[in-house]
Structure 1
Amino acid sequence: MNRKWSSLLLLLVLSVTDAYLLAHPNLIGKIGVLVYKHHYIRNFPRALLTVAIVVGISLAINEVVYRLTQKKTAIFTYLALTAVSVAWFMYVFVAFSSFSYRITGKAFIYGAHLLPVILAGLNLRYLFKRILVQEPLNGRLTAEKRGQGAS
């Protein structure tokens, strides 16, 4: 299977898994979702749409940066996006370690942790991909080095 398709399939499986976990808190978690008006994760289709939008926007940003920017700019952007994802993961880790979130159920807690991990992995994949791809050389300078001369 093509490497790009297998990566997209993995991203799809992780997104569906995350949406399933977010949509299935225990009874206390369901009450918390209703009280705090988290309508975007109330049921599986809404959670799947929310996760798909977040992952899709992140994937689109990464593709645009990969295709339209210089190597140094892209690397800096990917590092910044990865730092945001890691900071988000640390926030979720600290928030879900408190008592009020600890009693919402393990599935819900794992789902909350999984989304920033997906985004960090996506950003790191593009970072390493951009680091390993070499910039195309200037065609005119290459021709001059070969002795063909400039026209």
Structure 2
Amino acid sequence: MANITTASSVDVVSARPELSIHNGIVTTTSLQVAQFFGKRHDNVLRAIRALIREMASEDHPLNFEETVDVRTNPSGGAPISTPAYRMTREGFMLLAMGFTGKEALRWKLAYIAAFNRMEAGLQKPAQDPQRIHLAQRLATQAAARSHRPCSTPSWP
């Protein structure tokens, strides 16, 4: 994740939102969104909780999942646990709609592009067809070599 404290158009070009796959779904976390957008995490949590309350009566898929981020204590003490939310693309979009301004728009576009790249990668076949064909050909050749008769038998 890019360590960005101020947003500029130069940062947008070099920064990439951090996404991960969780239960087969592309997600990001509230901590990553706060860091990427240069917002305080407690404010991002407050905005997510407000969205959850507003959507409670609606029939929406789970876009926000409570989680805990555990990080190293910089002073060397016990690890620090921070409440956070894991969110889907839809959760991110609902949250980011509330972020305004020119720079916020640039960050939103960068996040949406990152989601698109990750999801496109998930849609690709797990293996390259050319590599599968090569592996099959090599396996066939190896099998043919193992079935050739030996010139001298190995049994007594």
Q: TM-score, normalised by structure 2?
A: 0.36
Higher strand share: 2
Greater relative CO (CA pairs within 8 A, separation 6+): 1
Higher helix share: 1
